[in-house]
Amino acid sequence: MFWNLVANEIISEEWQPNVCLQAFADDFILVISEPTETKLKATAPAALTKFQHWADKQQLKSPIAQQTQEILLKSTSIKVGWIRTHFGYSGNEAADVLAKKATQEESPTYIPAPRNHIKSLLQKESIIRWQKEWDNGETGSSVYSVLPKVNTTPTPCQRPEIMFGTGHGPFPTYFKRFKIRNSESCGCGNLGNPLHYATSCLFTTSYHLTKPSADLGLLWWKRVMNNNNSRAKIRKLIHFIAENETLCFPKDGDNN
């Protein structure tokens, strides 16, 4: 869509009768049909100059635009050669194939609007669709509780913090879910999830955070994950659990 918008201006220009410009994925084909070499030399420079002015205006970075500009800047006068058709010249045959393809394909729909405006609209639409997918997704509920709004700015989190926020870490609930262990209980007998270890486990009191009330759970997660001191405690907590698995986890078969 971006390319269509950029190319719309030059394609909609009025060209000479024997000049045809076609836009492809990231290139242009300029087809000039003249019966003689003399007429071809007379028509081509004007068409190329017109294309160059447009490329300069758009500040294009595509290879074809750069090559065209370089050729025009280096040459004080453009010399155009003439070759006979159907003689097996690879470049000429390729141009014929592309020109034929262009006549067979449907013309794309162009939107007459500034490129930056269209980019802004598309970015907003992308965010809206992304948010809908995030709101209605069947996975990632633990992360959603912490980060309910999508954002193009990355959230700086270290690995232990991600483990804690997602629940994908050294927790009995995680291991039971993926059948790594038979029990989802902590060594103290309670449910071994991240919140338990961070607020009430008897073995992790040195790393406890204030336990939230039932109706403020979402707010608690947000505050914890946005507080540097809390995140530092979480990192230490995850390290402690990983290093003391025999203490924090019951033996398989003790609790189910």
What's the pLDDT tens digit per position in 210-256? 888 877 777 788 788 888 899 999 999 999 999 998 888 877 655 44
- Identify the DSSP state of 25: S
| pLDDT for res 1 | 41
- State how far the Cα of 223 lies from the Cα of 146, in Å rounded to an integer: 9
CA distances from 5 to 77, 129, 217 (A): 32, 22, 47
Whole-structure pTM value: 0.48
| pLDDT for res 149 | 85
Nearest residue to 194 (alpha-carbon basis) of 161, 150, 223: 161
| pLDDT for res 157 | 80
- State how far the Cα of 208 lies from the Cα of 230, in Å rounded to an integer: 9
> Mind listing the pLDDT tens digit for each residue in 68-123?
556 656 665 655 565 666 566 666 666 677 667 766 766 655 555 677 888 888 88
- State how far the Cα of 228 lies from the Cα of 249, in Å rounded to an integer: 28
| pLDDT for res 191 | 92
The count of other CB atoms within 10 Å of the CB of residue 86 is: 8
Which amino acid, 56? D
| pLDDT for res 49 | 76
Phi/psi at 26 (5° precision) = -145, 20
- State how far the Cα of 194 lies from the Cα of 235, in Å rounded to an integer: 12
